[in-house]
A and B are shown apart, each in its own frame.
Chain A
Amino acid sequence: MINLVFILVFPLLFIGIIPKVKAIMVGRKGKPVLQSIRDFVKLLRKDEILSEHSTFISKIAPSLALVCTLVASLFVPFVSTHTLLGFVGDFILFVFLLSLAKGVMALAAMDCGSSFQGMGTSRELSFTAFLEPAFFLIMATLIFSVGSGSMAQIFAQQGILYLNIWDVFAGLFIAVALFIMLLVESARVPFDDPATHLELTMIHEVMVLDFSGFNLALINYTSALKMFIYSSLICHLILPVGSSILWYLILLILIYILVGMLESLVARFRMNRNLELVLVPLSIALLTLAALIAKNMGAW
């Protein structure tokens, strides 16, 4: 049950860390960490403006997307390793729920009939074409090395046994792959700069260009939640089994700080170079899986 509380409060809080870190890196003071929560509450009360071309989809899409991501996060272990819902092979439902959210958002983006949204959606979807298989491969590697079960069991209960080097090798590589997926999914720097104003270069931001008020709040919350899910998955993967909550929180903040530092140190990639890099998690997962199978076969 603590997870549920965790999900509702913390994502927007942690999102605030990143601009703070970027500002400090540059020597500025930066906006306060709680600013994103304040924006969220402000937007909730605002009225909405809908384009005359928009249909019922742009009314229901943001809420459906939020609900799907919320329910998907119920499978993910946050603070406590016992998740609300969970069954063997629930990661398939998890992935498909996320793609449903993305799909609905893609449709909603195309709804207002301007060319920017089309451009944004096409880029966003071309990323998903490679992330979904990557996630499945990551799950296959984990199941191969750790044994099948629900997401909670795979990530939390088993975790990496630091004494066996193969587990460490597999776990760390998977963590890197997940980290790249985190960057892509939540539209962070190397792939898409949230702070840019030039619509031609945006990917995620331009999809939601036409939303305002209540829907915009929901969308911001959904992307924050998604980032929170991925970072929590990474933490559980790295932390050994049974480590305390404190370690988990520290690692979580560390990930957010890492993202913030990454944003300020690394410049954006060119648009088509971007797509090539999206293949990286897929290749990492494939590589580790092949190595593990070879190990099992007793090649080494």
Chain B
Amino acid sequence: MGSILLVGYPLLAIVFCAFVASRRRCDLLVLLHALLHSGLGIQAFVQRGSVLEMDDLGLFMYLILSVLYSAIAFYRIGQKEKISIRDYRIHSIFLMIFVMAMDGATMAKDMGLIWIFVEATTISSALLISYSNKKSSLEAAWKYLFICSVGIALAFAGILLLVIAQPSNATLNIANIDYASISPLWLKISFVFILIGFGTKMGLAPLHFWLPDAHSEAPAPISALLSGALLNIALIPILRMDKLMQYSGLGYVAQNLYLFMGFLSVFIATVFILKTKDFKRMLAYSSIENMGLIMIAFGLGTSAYAAGYLHILGHSFVKAAFFLIAGNALSIYQDKNFENLGSLLRINKGSAWLWLIASAMIIGLPPSPLFTSKFMIAAVLISKGHYLYFSLLMLLLAVISWGIFNIGLKICLGESDRRVKLNAWLYLAPAGLLLIAGLIGTFLPVLD
């Protein structure tokens, strides 16, 4: 019943949105959708499986998505966009389709269904990115669409190979695949294809090239949703396949690949955080770095899964908040190259302090859950004896934190007498997210 509601309402909302005149009503519709979304999520969390049929992993991602979506809905109310009502209407419609597609991906259990929904998210978000049809955002959208659809096509090839790998009654529902009779070779090949397919969607190292362009060109709420929720949604199929690989005894193959891609992503992120001049690209690279850390966590075997989930939770909240704050900064400065910015602390004290706190939390200083997850990753790394990897990782993270804080401080400090006032909503959404992340960081909820 819940899923029908979840799909029904957006369709109705889209129809209304098409006719509604003012921008406020669009926001209202989006807000209603977000509240419904999170309401259902909480109810599903309270009585497991009653409202929405999804397993724990799906519910976990669903809850993150609903929190982010409501934050973004509030943020949009505060935003003053100088674009025509027609574009704004299209933008809201596609936003709702985008969220609906992501809900579908969390609910689907059959790999084929997940594939379709992830493909749907790519298409709907491509249009959202090219929203301010500047030259660069159009190009970013095209690259995003093209590379992701190539990746998704490879993923589909992987799913087909999965079917081939099962001699008897082949089924795509991970739960009821019989592990004994599956042929290891085909399973390995299909896993590689699926990992690469959804890896491009998730922005892991060698396949990440679209991510900095897409996230830095997209408007603030969209890039927050992209990096906060979409990257996790792309992780769902990989985790489902990972469970399959564990049971069929090929876990070590998957873990080696995860570790390789994880370390490569953290390395690439370090290279480009030091180089980039644009603070939104810096945020995109730090998403790549955190996705790399998550993959390292999953690559270290079952003991580090808790760290992986905690890292996903922490990263999506803090990163989404950071993107919204970057949006505020962009609306103040209208220029992304951080070298000729400065003295945000004087211009707008609120967003400056939000910026500094968010950058402190993103590099994993105590209030944020990333600290505990980094500690656990380090613990498992050392317990497995990879001392070299541990020291390498710590060095890379230190360099990244230098880069992030260097940019943050260059933007925030300095003297200027320009004063800019921003709408209250613009602070509420990121501050709320950071608060949730802080609470999670201190009280560390029990993760299954």
* Chains A and B share a contact (CB less than 8 Å): no
